[in-house]
Amino acid sequence: MFSSAEQQRIIAEYENASREEKDSILRREGLAQHAALIATLDLRRLGHSSPIPIALLADTAAALLADEFQVGDDHQLIKAVSGAIYEHADQQPDSHAPALVPAPSTSTTSYHAGDRPDEKILRARCYYVPPAGFWEAVSRHAQTAEDLHAIGRSAASRLRLRHADQLYRRAGNAGRAEARWDLAQLREEAGDLDGAKNLYLEAATAGSPQALSHLAELREKAGDVDGAKNLYLQAADAGDEDALWEVARLHEETGDPDGAEQVAQRAADSGDVGPLSSLAWMRESAGDDENAERLYRRALDTGHTYALWGLARLREKADDRAGAEQFARQALRSGNSAVMRELAIFREDASDLDGAEPLYRQAGDAGDPYTSFDLSRIREKAGDPDGAETIARQAAESGDSDPSWHLARMRELADNYASAKELYLLAGKAGNSEAMRSLAWMLEKQGDLAGAEQYNHQAKDAGNLDAIWDPARLREESGDPDEAENIARQAAESGDTSILWPLATLREERGDPDDAERLAFLATDAGDTRALRELAEIRHKDPRWEKLLQFGLDPDGRLSDPWW
């Protein structure tokens, strides 16, 4: 990159140079190579994956260089650089590609930067949002619907909605059905409901089952139940596996149980038993156990063995424990241990530990993977801490760290911190990074911030991405906001913006709205709008924030003027 002083020197020299001297300045400063490189980097990091057409390279390079040098797109230097990129191909625009960057492709009309870009440059450009000319060049010259869609999503993730809209539209017109869906969602979220409905209709006409189901949902919200049913049925015919359940639900909710059963049976006849079981659950929840059992049995008759859990639960609630266990054992014979475990949990939740434990053991004998976890918990609740710990340690030796982790949490809640720490460390040694994070939280609550940071770092080093937030939060809460932000920035520059987002909301909660806003906009520029959307929810009475979500931002970060 050129420093500000270097940019001013180059511009001054170029404006006052003769024709021959101008060419010499371009070559000496490597401006065409520099512009082509940053264009390649930005195209790649924003989602363009195919070989880059020469016209796209030249126009994006010109837009980026103009933005870097703070001159207009029509400045003579920018035009010269764009011309040099074309000229290097020894062809007119849209023809051969120049070998201005590493790893040229074999294509004669484009080039492909195959090597991984320089990490330092990528990190430096993490928060950089290209100017309007860049996005417009992509819309003009990108040759695949996939590239248009991908760059459109990058624009949307930075709340550059005007450019996302344009790119989605071009991708949709080029045959990318997902882009039509994204475009409709963008308009709906922006408040353009009429435009969104028309776009959903376009997507539905093009055969998108997702769009048909969403239109049905909109009809249902508007009170048009019959219209919603018809659209859900169309979505089912187009391949939406969940749509028939929505039709069955609407029949049930509007007092047509026979219609609901007919639709659920239609789904079952097509191989989807889910609607039958879900309808049975609706009736069970409404207290109609007799009809619920009948539907669970129909689901079972079609081969849906998990319906046995519904039947077992109904028997258990009716105090027919033997009948409940009979259904659970039937599931075991079918290779399904989950029903027996669910029945055990049901009894455990009712404080029937003696009734639950043998069921957990039966599930374990059938190969249930959660048995050690369940039995250690039961033993702890039953007042047998030694037995609970023996089970947890045996599981850890076999590579299952969850029992020791959860037992540690139980001990922590019981204020047995020494034992909790020992068990957290046991789980961590067995590879459970979340246990290290839990230990850090426990130590933090005890005031041991150094210990908390130590185990957070261990969790992070073990690959636990959530643990990256904890050191930033600790720094923030201990009065070191600069270091907290430094941690968040380092993570964002490595591709993880999940720390900038909560740090921004934390500062909002702590009474620093200006800094919260600054961090939220920073995260947005890096491709994560969550913090900005949260602040917009908090400040929804401020017209500026309402406009922000409606029309988004211009590339330079200012609020966009209305564009739809």
Residue/partner pairs of 113-121 with CB below 8 Å, 24 or more apart: 113/40, 113/44, 113/52, 117/40, 117/41, 117/44, 117/45, 121/38, 121/41
The H or E element containing residue 52 is: strand 52-53
% of the chain exceeding 70 in pLDDT = 95
Give SS3 for 193: helix
pLDDT, residue 58, reads 96
Sign of CA dihedral 83, 89, 90, 95: negative
Q: What is the mean pLDDT of the chain?
A: 92
Mean pLDDT of 127-154: 98
Is the pLDDT at 71 greater than 50, yes or no? Answer: yes
CA–CA gap between residue 437 and residue 452 (Å, rounded): 8
Nearest in space to 324 (alpha carbons), one of 281, 371, 356 = 356
- Report the chain's C-alpha Rg in angstroms: 31
Mean pLDDT of 90-111: 40
Q: What is the DSSP string of 337-393?
A: -HHHHHHHHHHHHTT-HHHHHHHHHHHHHTT-TTHHHHHHHHHHHTT-HHHHHHHHH
Is the pLDDT at 194 greater than 70, yes or no? Answer: yes
Is the pLDDT at 251 greater than 60, yes or no? Answer: yes
pLDDT, tens digit, 9 for 90 and up, residues 293-342: 999 999 999 988 989 999 999 999 999 999 999 999 999 999 999 999 99
Nearest in space to 172 (alpha carbons), one of 143, 192, 202 = 202
Cα distances from 28 to residues 36, 172, 330, in angstroms, run: 16, 43, 81
* 530: exposed, middle or buried (Cβ count in 10 Å: 0-12, 13-18, 19+): middle
Is the pLDDT at 113 greater than 70, yes or no? Answer: no
Is the pLDDT at 115 greater than 50, yes or no? Answer: no
Is the pLDDT at 522 greater than 50, yes or no? Answer: yes
Mean pLDDT of 480-490: 95
CB atoms within 10 A of CB 292: 23
Residue 94 banded pLDDT, cuts 50, 70, 90: very low
Residue/partner pairs of 34-40 with CB below 8 Å, 24 or more apart: 34/2, 34/65, 35/61, 35/62, 35/64, 35/65, 35/81, 35/85, 36/61, 36/85, 36/98, 36/100, 36/101, 37/100, 37/101, 38/64, 38/65, 38/68, 38/121, 38/125, 39/64, 40/101, 40/113, 40/117
Is the pLDDT at 359 greater than 70, yes or no? Answer: yes
Cα distances from 314 to residues 265, 327, 473, in angstroms, run: 22, 10, 47
pLDDT, residue 105, reads 33
Mean pLDDT of 52-63: 96
Asked whether 61 and 82 are in contact (CB, 8 A), the reply is yes
CA–CA gap between residue 103 and residue 469 (Å, rounded): 38
Cα distances from 426 to residues 372, 386, 390, 394, 522, in angstroms, run: 15, 15, 12, 11, 40
Mean pLDDT of 467-482: 92
pLDDT, residue 100, reads 44
Cα distances from 167 to residues 48, 67, 160, 183, 261, in angstroms, run: 12, 21, 11, 9, 44
Q: What are phi and psi of 557, to 5 degrees?
A: 95, -5
CA–CA gap between residue 105 and residue 97 (Å, rounded): 9
pLDDT, residue 89, reads 62
Mean pLDDT of 435-464: 94
Mean pLDDT of 495-508: 94
pLDDT, residue 178, reads 87
Mean pLDDT of 369-385: 97
Least confident of 286-290, 313-317, 386-390, 473-477: 473-477
Residue 95 banded pLDDT, cuts 50, 70, 90: very low
Q: Which residue has the higher pLDDT, 181 or 66?
A: 66
CA–CA gap between residue 228 and residue 244 (Å, rounded): 12
CA–CA gap between residue 430 and residue 452 (Å, rounded): 19
pLDDT, residue 109, reads 44
Nearest in space to 281 (alpha carbons), one of 307, 315, 253, 304 = 307
Which tokens in the block code for residue 316? Answer: 């258990």
For the whole model, what pTM was predicted? 0.82
Asked whether 496 and 468 are in contact (CB, 8 A), the reply is yes
pLDDT, tens digit, 9 for 90 and up, residues 382-440: 999 999 999 999 999 999 999 999 999 999 999 999 999 999 999 999 999 999 999 99
Mean pLDDT of 478-493: 94
* 342: exposed, middle or buried (Cβ count in 10 Å: 0-12, 13-18, 19+): buried
Q: In which region does residue 287 sit, left (phi positive, over 0), alpha (psi from -120 to 50) or beta (all else)?
A: left
**For the chain, counts of helices (H) and of strands (E):** 33, 2
